[in-house]
Structure 1
Amino acid sequence: MFTKKKVIYFFILLLLVSVLDFWIFSNIKTSYNEVLNENLLKTSQIISRSIPKSNFDYNKWIKKYEKENENLKIIYINGLPGFFETTDYFNEENIYNFFNNNLKSKDFQKGIESAVYSEFYFSKSDYIINNSKYRIIFAPILSDEYDVLGVGVLFFKMDKYMEFYRIVNIFMYAVIIIFILLYGIINFSRDPVMNFIILGIFVIVAIFTAYPLFEAVRLTFIKNGEFSLDIWKKILTTKQYLNAFWGSIKLGISTATLSTLVGFLFAFVLARTGIKGKKIFSTMATLPVISPPFSLTLSILLLFGNNGLITKKILGLENFSIYGLGGLTLVQTIGMFPIAYLTMVGVLHSIDSTLEDASLDLNASKLETFLKVTLPLSMPGILSAWLLVFTNSLADFANPLILSGNYRVLSVEAYLEVTGMNRLGNGAALSILLLLPTITAFLVQRFWVSKKSFVTVTGKPSPRITELVSKPVKTILVSLIVLIIIFLISLYGTIVAGCFVRNWGIDYTFTLENITEALQRGKDAIMDTVTLASAATPIAGILAMMTALILVRKKFSGKRLFEILIMAPFAIPGTLIGISYILAFNKAPLILVGTGAIIVINYIIRELPVGVEGGVAALRQIDPSIEEAAQDLGADAPTVFKTIVLPLLRPAFISSLSYTFVRSMTAVSAVIFLISAKWYHITVLIYNFSENLRFGLASVLATTLIIIVLAAFGLMRLLVKESETLEKSVSQ
């Protein structure tokens, strides 16, 4: 693809484009600078003729103009320097010290001389004072008769105006980069269309993943425009933050351990025993995954809160409190054990029973076989499940926001730092701190698993499973599962019941007023949530399938970095994403904060990794020769993707759509930072109702959200049927 002629043409065109580009943008900057100087001069002329007419209160005069213009600092030299004795007036000590230090410079001497002779003088260059850029104008201060009474040294802060020059420079260099990429892809690549797609997705994830994270990390090392470790010193030495850090760790460990135990119970019974009704049990085990994060917390409060049905109405407990570590662990375990179950059920199902048979043939008991064969072989799945739940627990924001009480966790501390105290740097640092235990746990898990071999499928696997539990033990295990499911159903039933109670905990009179009031007050939030989720869903689904195709089928430089950027949002706490988006997109050139677009983008980027993983798994089962045949017949990349790949990926595509929609409908952690008066979210409204003890209204909206989510999953089942797997027979 590279020829001498093409390369020469490329460099000639690049030179011409660069010259034209620099000329155009230089003219733009020059014109802007002229307009800016003209405006500064007009301001200076107004100040020049506004000398106090009585009492000569110069300090008051200076304060007045500095208050009206926050970007202006004034030094007034009363009298004519070089002719009469003068007196200096000022408010800013730093500005005055800078003035004195540069007073003998040619630029300042020229400025004072010009002002004495009734001329306005602009400094030859802008000056840096306290990390801010200032443009200085020396102005004659005139009486009503236009006599020169003194010299005003006007310091105009230029940081705000310099933003325009920064944006112009970004566009100037962007034009050259875009030209290089476009020309290079069109003329020097074999598959221009696919390369454009790769470039487009790479740019998207770079802008909406790497750039915001960079801004968040950068902010934690900046103070007053300079590099500083003050924020991290404060975070790592303040007892409140350290208690919150250890609080998050303790909550994560307790939740991950209990969730893994409950998830293993479900996975083992459903994968390694021959019980009936597996589909019902499996459906119930995954129910909390698709419910709003506030729903279980709300039901726990309705049952076990200070005015809970069980704690106060039935048991009459006075000093019992569900708030704190115990309540949080309970709610998170019920909400997150499905993650552990889904992670482990496949691992347990794939264990070859011939190994267990061999152990039993060697006179090992069923318990010994379970402890020495089945459990060790399940360890990769158990560790993965524990790690996933631990990560989700640390990043969980919704449950601790309501149930933490006096118990401190980092995710809530980060939220309070940003929303309550407007300390974005502290909030970003606390959110970044959440990544440390997650990364540590991940590395420990990888190291442990890499040291052992867990290979069991080396040929044709056994078509049956060996049941390792006796009937009494099976009865006990199934009973435990049934009790958990009953408790789970009671939690969801409580939410529905809460819709029809006048004032939960005080007045249990039946009423329909909650439904009317909640839907009236929440209709805008519901519409906003459904609209934004619906906008994000198709974009995220198509983007996920295209990305999966690129990762599986294409080889290109930077592929590893591309994959890391795609998958990174899955491991990043939602609070950090929300804070980083505020920092990155609340300034030019991309001002998105306050718009619906930033919420949609957050949905897409946040849920993209799951869709990509599903697409990658499905693509690995599809023979590449199908796509190659279409290409040999003249189909280009978009045609192959639309007519071959997408239909074959239909189940994964529909699953990606459903997952994105559901997660968008139930999002909290990042969205709570990004909502605005124009665009609200139903989960935030549920939280507000819960905080104000309007549990009836919160129950109605939570129930509405559950209905919408279940309807989305029902629609998914209509669009695509799951593949039936071969059932294994059970031997006793």
Structure 2
Amino acid sequence: MTRTSFFESLPGQLVVAYRQLDLTILVWIVIALALAFLTVNPVLSLLVDSFRSIADRTFTLQNYVSAFTSPVKLSAVWTTALYAAGVSILTAILAVPTAWAVSRTDMPLKGFVRVLVLGSFILPSYLGAVAWILIAGPNSGWLNIAWRYLTGFEGALINVYSFSGLVFVTALYSYAFVFVFASDGFDRLSSEMEDAANILGAGPVRTTLRITMPLVAPAIIGGMIVTFLETFTLFGTPAILALPARINVMTLELWSYFQYPVNPYGAAAYALPLIGITCLLFLLQRLYFGRKGYVTISGKTTERRLIALGKYKWVFLGYSLAVSALALGLPLVALTQAAFTTAWGRKLSFDNLTLENFRYALFENDATVNAIANTALYSSAAATLAVILSLAVAYVVARRLLPFAGTLGMLCMAPFVIPGIVIAIGFYSAYANAPFYLYGTGAIIIIAFTTRFLPIAYVNSTAGMKSLNPEMEDAVRILGGSRIRALRSVVMPLLKGSIAGSWMLVFIPAIRELSSALFLITPNTKVVSILILDYSQGANFEILSAIGLITLVASVCIYLISRLLIGRDVMLRKQ
């Protein structure tokens, strides 16, 4: 049948509809299905599995009864809540003074302080926990050895194998969240209301406490909520510090479900409330701050003047550098010392120096070589998929190409409220068995990483898409091109910087990701984060430190290359 005869055989209204149909809508439908595959199916599978019996897969409530009537598991929930709350409060203490000094004052070396905060973000928390074992382990840590030598007292000055040690170390690698939120709030705040307070006789301290801080409180609390949620679902640091100290938290309980005998259905029931906790906190934040009438940005041009601290600028600089030294400086020194020595507990001497740890890690140990290769492959593939999918969805949402375009945007952001460890269990439930059988393959880790970091790529892609005028795409279509042609010829070239930035923002966190890989790896698909965890459990800190430094150097090199190629700082850029 020819095209003409085909049209003649259709009713008149269908002919019009067919002629107006943009066949590229099939592409958008495929993208919508892929998004559901990544975000909806794992959660639904997790929900269904939570009601399945481990014996015969029939419907049961026993998984929930076992999870939330056990004193041990309920105690883990309470301990985790205290742990997350303690970390959130401590991160605010560490981050807010630094953010205020960087954004609102004349403190020197502000750019350097921002770089140090970025460094503490790049250093994985589980690697920082290992470093603090070398620094403040109760028996062999540097600080405790020095304490006993100088004072003659037995015992430890600092014990990282304690609840306070766990909170302290976790906060050091989470305060960057609060810093970014708070510094963004301080940067956006006009000086007008502060000037009015000064005119009425308020001094700098009172103005800051009564005017500035309340205005920025929503941003600070937003950062604290993100920190609370990250801590609530954190696995690496508790596995390294809490497990030896016999401090039981929820993520360790979830991990126990995957020890022999494996019980994924019980894990599903125990993990699902984490999604509810996440959604509840964000809802409470919106309800509480939705009533506030604070306005920090007006329609007219405003001036933001820096506060002259005088001699106190050195106090704030010292505080900022001290926090960075605890989070980045001392850990890097400890890891470097361990990586270049035959035995990290011995004193530093020429006969204790070696490059053998790096040679073994890079050339002799097949497990390390495979883990590095797997990490590079999975992270780059996940970054590529996340960018492609987020860019396509951002385009559909911005141009309203589908009736449910807004829903697609919500699905892209949904993983933000799904903890990484829950994503891993969800993917295990959805794709480990029939009909997919992806467990034990790299594919399940790639799609888990893609889902985990999809919100990052989507936020960046949406920001870039909003900067484009659709008239240029319309010109391509007027000249006979399709939407796909317009996307390829106009949108992609104009957004290449944003695309590259999105790729980097996904790739760098993916190479250090632990929670999403925890329940999905096998011996053949191990990644560097899991390998570091294995070495920490065997107390092989020399090889571990060498692998950690290799990962850090690679991350920094990739970041520097991205700055050269893109021409801006993709990590500290405000979205």
Contact 2:91/2:175, CA 8 A, preserved across alignment: yes
Cα displacement (A) at 1:202 = 1.3
The letter for the 2-side match of 1:358 is: A
Distance 1:429 1:186, change over 3 A: farther
Cα displacement (A) at 1:649 = 2.0
Q: Is it true that 1:226 corresponds to 2:65 in the alignment?
A: no
Which of residues 283, 287, 308 in structure 2 aligns to 1:443? 283
Q: Is it true that 1:252 corresponds to 2:84 in the alignment?
A: yes
Aligned runs of 1:351-366 on 2, under 5 Å?
Answer: 351-366=189-204
Distance 1:676 1:269, change over 3 A: same
Match of 2:68 in 1: 236
Alpha-carbon separation, structure 1, partners of 2:19 and 2:234: 47
Per-residue CA distance 1:13-40 (angstroms, 9 max, x = gap): xxxxxxxxxxxxxxxxxxxxxxxxxxxx
Distance 1:470 1:533, change over 3 A: closer
Q: Is it true that 1:300 corresponds to 2:140 in the alignment?
A: no
Match of 1:409 in 2: 249
Alpha-carbon separation, structure 2, partners of 1:629 and 1:607: 34
Alpha-carbon separation, structure 2, partners of 1:608 and 1:7: 46
Per-residue CA distance 1:294-315 (angstroms, 9 max, x = gap): 2201100111113433244322
Which of residues 386, 407, 410 in structure 2 aligns to 1:564? 410
Which of residues 418, 430, 434 in structure 2 aligns to 1:584? 430
Higher strand share: 1
Cα displacement (A) at 1:506 = 4.9
Q: Is it true that 1:273 corresponds to 2:105 in the alignment?
A: yes
Q: Is it true that 1:200 corresponds to 2:30 in the alignment?
A: yes
Contact 1:579/1:673, CA 8 A, preserved across alignment: yes
Q: Is it true that 1:476 corresponds to 2:306 in the alignment?
A: no
Which 5+ residue runs of structure 1 have no aligned equivalent?
Answer: 11-182, 725-732
Alpha-carbon separation, structure 2, partners of 1:184 and 1:249: 61
Q: Is it true that 1:603 corresponds to 2:476 in the alignment?
A: no
- Matched residue of 1:191: which SS? coil
Cα displacement (A) at 1:412 = 1.5
Per-residue CA distance 1:612-666 (angstroms, 9 max, x = gap): 0011122223333333333333332122222222222223211111122112211
Contact 2:135/2:141, CA 8 A, preserved across alignment: yes
Distance 1:447 1:601, change over 3 A: same
Q: Is it true that 1:686 corresponds to 2:525 in the alignment?
A: no
Q: Is it true that 1:390 corresponds to 2:233 in the alignment?
A: no
Match of 1:191 in 2: 22
Contact 1:390/1:438, CA 8 A, preserved across alignment: no
Per-residue CA distance 1:675-728 (angstroms, 9 max, x = gap): 12322211111111111010001000000100111111111111111289xxxx
Q: Is it true that 1:652 corresponds to 2:498 in the alignment?
A: yes
The letter for the 1-side match of 2:268 is: A
Alignment TM-score, normalising by the size of structure 2: 0.90
Alpha-carbon separation, structure 2, partners of 1:461 and 1:430: 52
Alpha-carbon separation, structure 2, partners of 1:479 and 1:685: 36
Alpha-carbon separation, structure 2, partners of 1:539 and 1:221: 32
Distance 1:669 1:420, change over 3 A: farther
The letter for the 2-side match of 1:338 is: A
Alpha-carbon separation, structure 2, partners of 1:476 and 1:422: 54
Larger radius of gyration: 1
Which structure has more RCO (C-alpha within 8 Å, separation ≥ 6)? 2
Q: Is it true that 1:326 corresponds to 2:157 in the alignment?
A: no
Alpha-carbon separation, structure 2, partners of 1:466 and 1:689: 48
Cα displacement (A) at 1:269 = 1.0
Match of 1:643 in 2: 489
Per-residue CA distance 1:188-213 (angstroms, 9 max, x = gap): 864331x2232112111212221111
- Matched residue of 1:670: which SS? helix
Match of 1:695 in 2: 541
Which of residues 288, 291, 299 in structure 2 aligns to 1:459? 299
Q: Is it true that 1:214 corresponds to 2:44 in the alignment?
A: yes
Contact 2:95/2:175, CA 8 A, preserved across alignment: yes
Per-residue CA distance 1:114-168 (angstroms, 9 max, x = gap): xxxxxxxxxxxxxxxxxxxxxxxxxxxxxxxxxxxxxxxxxxxxxxxxxxxxxxx
Indicate the RMSD between aligned Cα atoms, in angstroms: 2.5
Match of 1:511 in 2: 354
Segment of structure 1 superposing worse, 537-546 or 262-271: 537-546
Alpha-carbon separation, structure 1, partners of 2:16 and 2:136: 63
Match of 2:3 in 1: none
Alpha-carbon separation, structure 2, partners of 1:184 and 1:452: 54
Distance 1:354 1:506, change over 3 A: same
Alpha-carbon separation, structure 1, partners of 2:15 and 2:447: 29
Alpha-carbon separation, structure 2, partners of 1:642 and 1:495: 46
Per-residue CA distance 1:454-506 (angstroms, 9 max, x = gap): 22322223233241x63244332221101112222111121111101222235
Cα displacement (A) at 1:420 = 4.0
Per-residue CA distance 1:213-232 (angstroms, 9 max, x = gap): 11111111222343321111
